[in-house]
Amino acid sequence: MKRKQPLWLNIYLIFGILISFYALLKSYLDRKDLPPNVCPIENNNNIIFLGISLLVSYIIIAVAYDYLYKKRNNKEDDL
């Protein structure tokens, strides 16, 4: 039986992807207005770190949720 992830976990993933895409787009658009040899990433550090941390925490939560789901079902099967 295949399990479904809860809705809040999927929303968490979508939110992380959207923030990461926004940071990438903002960095690309800022690059056009900057002079040569200037890094556009320094202006967007907070947005980039937020997107990365949301995606990494999604992976950790999804793995933990799957582990706990399997562990709970194995206990129910033993009874």
- Domain ranges in the chain are 47-79
CB 55 within 8 A of CB 20: yes
Q: In angstroms, rounded to a whole number, what is the distance separating the alpha carbons of residues 69 and 56?
A: 20
**pLDDT by 10-residue block (mean), the chain, 79 residues:** 76 93 90 81 86 94 89 71
The pTM of the full predicted model, rounded to 2 decimals, is 0.78
Backbone φ, ψ for residue 44 (5° rounding): -115, 20
40 three-state secondary structure: helix
Provide the pLDDT for residue 2. 64
Q: Around Cβ 16, how many Cβ atoms within 10 Å?
A: 20
- Crossing angle of helices 45-78 and 7-33, in 10° steps, is 160
